């Protein structure tokens, strides 16, 4: 069986060799930006689940910037996890962004000037989640860059009582792979795949996490991601 890391490196190499990647470089060890990211974002914005959503959580990586901008243009609330989940989630309400500044407000370098980091207790009900990916199988199995943030973010939101929501990813069409992606119980699967060519529904047969698998959380991760400690204290500290 091909390992997760072998699949990742194959995709990063193909994107690089075929010049379908975009700044920032190198593409390795990150959610790769790609040519056609704007088209993929437009395809997501055409979905009824997007149109009906009031609060959308999107990863902070470069290829999802066009969608983050569109969310604010469309008058929706944008939720973005802080990089490496150091400080939880940033919320940007559309009324906080002057017209014409949506792209700037959605960029990682300026988002905190327009939004604010909120505690877990203030996260509004989320209607749709968008994740970045390195590789996606047509059946919805997903590989991120290998650090588990998207999986954890979804698990955290579910722990807080948010009902299951659709998961969408945007990738370049060459990131769609047919290798048998190994899957762990805490891995997040996706329901919709957006590429520069259009949308595909995965009809994934795999269950999504219902919460954090605390057995897989190390003391070091608790320190590195204070949001996990905040969640543990909120839900379990006084029940032990």
Residue-level pLDDT at 224: 86
Q: What is the chain written as a DSSP string?
A: ---HHHHHHHHHHHHHHTT-B-SSS--TTS---BTTHHHHHHHHHTSHHHHT-SEEEE--SGGGHHHHHHHHHTT-EEEEEPGGGSS-EEEE-GGGS-TT-HHHHHSTTTHHHHSEEE-GGGPPPP-EEEE--SEE-TTS-EE-SSS-HHHHHHHHHHHTTPPP--EEEE--GGGB--S-----TT----SEEEETTEEEE----SPPPSS--GGG--HHHHHH-HHHHHHHHHHTGGG-
Band of pLDDT at residue 29, cut at 50, 70 and 90:
very high
Residue-level pLDDT at 199: 98
Q: What is the pTM of this model?
A: 0.95
Band of pLDDT at residue 238, cut at 50, 70 and 90:
confident
Residue indicated by tokens 């009031």: 54
Band of pLDDT at residue 69, cut at 50, 70 and 90:
very high
Mean pLDDT on 188-217:
96
Q: What is the mean pLDDT of the chain?
A: 95
Mean pLDDT on 122-149:
96
Residue-level pLDDT at 79: 98
Distance CA 14, CA 236 (A): 45
Residue-level pLDDT at 136: 98
Q: What is 67-79 written as a DSSP string?
A: HHHHHHHTT-EEE
Take residue 34 and report the two structure tokens written for it.
């790609």
Question: To the nearest 10°, the Cα dihedral for 115, 117, 119, 125?
Answer: 40
Residue-level pLDDT at 83: 82
Is pLDDT above 80 for 33?
Answer: yes
Mean pLDDT on 183-200:
97
87-132 pLDDT per residue, tens: 889 999 999 999 999 999 999 999 999 999 999 999 999 999 999 9
Residue-level pLDDT at 148: 87
Is pLDDT above 90 for 52?
Answer: yes
Is pLDDT above 90 for 147?
Answer: no
Is pLDDT above 60 for 240?
Answer: no
Is pLDDT above 60 for 218?
Answer: yes
């Amino acid at each position: 069986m091909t390992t997760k890391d072998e699949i990742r490196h194959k995709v990063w190499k193909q994107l690089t060799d075929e010049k379908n990647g975009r700044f920032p470089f190198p593409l390795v060890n990150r959610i790769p930006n790609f040519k056609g990211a704007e088209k993929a974002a437009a395809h997501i914005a055409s979905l009824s689940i997007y149109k009906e959503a009031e609060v959308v959580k999107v990863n902070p990586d470069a290829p999802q910037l066009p969608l983050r901008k569109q969310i604010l243009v469309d008058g929706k609330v944008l939720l973005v996890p802080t990089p490496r989940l150091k400080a939880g989630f940033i919320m940007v309400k559309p009324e906080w962004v002057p017209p014409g500044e949506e792209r700037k407000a959605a960029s990682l370098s300026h988002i905190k000037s327009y939004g604010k980091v909120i505690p877990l207790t203030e996260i509004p009900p989320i209607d749709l989640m968008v994740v970045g990916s390195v590789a996606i199988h047509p059946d919805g199995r997903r590989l991120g860059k290998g650090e588990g943030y998207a999986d954890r973010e979804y698990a955290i939101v579910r722990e807080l009582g948010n009902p299951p929501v659709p998961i969408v990813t945007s990738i370049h069409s060459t990131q769609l792979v047919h290798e048998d992606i190994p899957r762990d119980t805490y891995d997040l699967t996706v329901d919709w795949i957006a590429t520069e060519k259009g949308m595909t529904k995965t009809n994934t047969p795999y269950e999504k996490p219902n919460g954090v698998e605390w057995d897989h959380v190390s003391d070091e991760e608790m320190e590195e991601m204070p949001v996990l400690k905040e969640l543990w204290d909120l839900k379990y500290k006084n029940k032990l």
